[in-house]
Amino acid sequence: MIHFENVTKVYTTQKHPALEDVSIDVGKGEFVFLVGPSGSGKSTFLRLVLKEEKPNKGRVHVAGKDLARLSNWKVPHLRRRIGCVFQDFRLLPNKNVFENVAFALEVIGKPRRFIRKVVPEVVELVGLEGKADRMPDELSGGEQQRVAIARAFVNRPQILLADEPTGNIDPATSIGIMKVLDRINRTGTTVVMATHDAAIVDSMRKRVIELEEGEVVRDQTRGVYGQAY
Amino acid sequence: MRAQFVLSEIWIGLRRNLTMTVAVITTVAISLALFGGGLLINQQVSQMRQYWDERVTLTIYMCTEISNSTTCEENGPATDKQRQDIQSDLESMDQVKSVEYVSAEQAFKDFQDRFANNQAMIDAVRKGDLPDNFRVQLVDPTKYQAVANEMQGRPGIDTIYDDQQVLEQFFGLLDGLTTAALTVSFVQLAAAALLIGNTVRLAAYNRRKETGIMRLVGASNFYIQLPFLLEGAIAGLIGGIIASGFIVAARFLLLTRIQQWFQFDVTLSTGSLLSVIGVSIILGVLLCTVASFLTLRRYLRV
């Protein structure tokens, strides 16, 4: 599903590469934790998957497509197969829960009937039934993140990327978020989650890829967060 | 769904940027009004040129009792023999298309007709003040000098008068006006384009959260940019419509007055007025859309 082959990425403003000779293979339906300190290259990895950046060396394949050979105007179609969740939720403050989730379908031109049908289903899937007409500022952080997950998942992407989704959320609420992500993973969606949260990684017992200064230092199935941090 | 979504985005964008939108519309309206005015004067001038080219371009005034040029004083008033000779000579010239003899009575009558609404002019001129003359139409109006040289100094001829030379001065003034209006309008249009660029940049910045999410969920570039482009186009359209108001006003107030000075009926057709308006509005919309597009390419990338 995601295939990195000797990928090196150097940002023009920095001397040290953000990723150096990284080879990673993530299969369909896998759940992968991406761990490592800040600046270790986790976000760069996610940005490369979305083709927000181009690698300096190596190849990136996502959903069977070689991103180097994907023309710019096809990038939006790639992104429709990838859902994204961030630490800061990125909800539209002037739209309610339903509208925020529906927004993702509206802007790719889905018909209204389809939107009316699928949005409530996904809102229920993330555990927000009965809160569809709340505004984001009426929700707790955990609930806002559920809305963001619903928006990322409403188009049934093949891959869900989560960049520290529990970074702004207390540990108790984080467990709920992880349950939602796990539920999404069980539908066959590949989930890649970058995180600093050792407790969550340890409790989930999923594959762990550890990055340090742009290099893969550990790739372990059913792994734990590690001792160093 | 799509249409409704795009329309609501445009409305939000225009409202959020109200002051900038007003500035854009005003600049576009003024520059397009100048542009359209320039085109209008240009068309009017070329129509008047055509009108005059088809008519008398050379008038040969004959000597009378009261003529005071040297040839007339030497030879006295023109005789019938001289008139006949001059007429046949003119008719035999290659450059001459037609010759019309206007008797003194006819000249006086024509004068009265032409200044029928100007009593002061009619009172000032008495019968006999106006000499009889030949109105000569040339094949090529610019060959005036050759014909004039041939006739100049012949007994019986007082003065040779080229209508076009007088008209040229006036046309020159109108041409100058046209050039000035068009130049100012182009400077204004450039300013309008920059202003639109700035407005769109502001709009893109205001909505960076929305556009960021749109990009993430895979909205196409076209879909993300469309509301901004249409915002520009709508501002251009409104500016163009206001400008066409000015253009119509210019047509009926300014050009009608110019026509009155000339005492001739050379009216711009409704068709050419509409075409000027059409060109102005299309230019406004195109300019705004292109300016928006170029700005978006820099500030709203994939």
The set of residues, in sequence order, having a beta carbon less than 8 Å from that of A125 and lying 6+ positions away, is A150, A153, A180, A183, A184
To 10 degrees, what angle do helices A112-125 and A171-186 make? 130
Interface test with B, best of A81, A107, A153, A156 (most B CBs within 10 A): A107
**CA nearest B2 in A: which residue?**
A109
CB contact under 8 A, B218 and A79: yes
pLDDT of residue B117: 76
Report the pLDDT averaged over residues B33-60: 79
Question: How confident is the model at residue A229, as a pLDDT?
Answer: 47
Q: If we measure between CA atoms, which residue out of A22, A94, A99 comes closest to residue A57?
A: A22
pLDDT > 70? residue A228: no
What's the CA gap between B204 and A57, in Å, rounded?
Answer: 33
CB contact under 8 A, B1 and A80: no
Interface membership of A111 toward B (CB under 8 Å): yes
Is residue A54 classed exposed, middle or buried when 0-12, 13-18 and 19+ CB atoms within 10 A define those classes?
A: exposed
Q: According to the model, what pLDDT value does residue A88 have?
A: 92
Q: For B204-257, what is each residue's pLDDT tens digit?
A: 888 888 888 888 888 888 888 888 888 889 889 999 999 999 988 888 887 777
- What is the average per-residue pLDDT within B55-60? 74
Neighbours of A173 (CB within 10 A): 17
Over residues A5-24, the pLDDT tens digits come to 999 999 988 888 999 999 99
State the DSSP H helix or E strand holding residue A57, giving kind and residue range, or none if neither: strand A57-62
Which residues of chain B neighbour A78 with C-beta distances below 8 Å?
Answer: 218
Contact assessment for residue A26 and residue A2, using Cβ atoms and an 8 Å cutoff: yes
What residues form DSSP beta bridges with A5? A59
Q: What percent of chain B has pLDDT over 70?
A: 93
pLDDT at B302 exceeding the cut of 60: no
B1 has pLDDT over 70: no
Residue B217, min C-alpha distance to chain A (Å)? 6
The yes-or-no verdict on residue A114 having pLDDT over 80 is: yes
d(CA A151, CA A199): 26
**Whether pLDDT at B61 is above 90:** no
Contact between B114 and B263 under an 8 Å Cβ cutoff? The reply is yes
| pLDDT(B22) > 60 | yes
Nearest in space to A211 (alpha carbons), one of A45, A2, A62 = A45
Taking only the tens place, the pLDDT of each residue in B188-207 is 888 888 888 888 888 888 88
pLDDT in tens, B125-171: 877 778 888 888 887 777 777 788 888 778 888 888 877 677 778 77
Instruction: Residue B2: list chain A partners with CB under 8 A.
Output: 109
- How far apart are the CA of A150 and the nearest CA of chain B, in angstroms? 12
Min Cα–Cα distance to chain B from A111, Å: 6
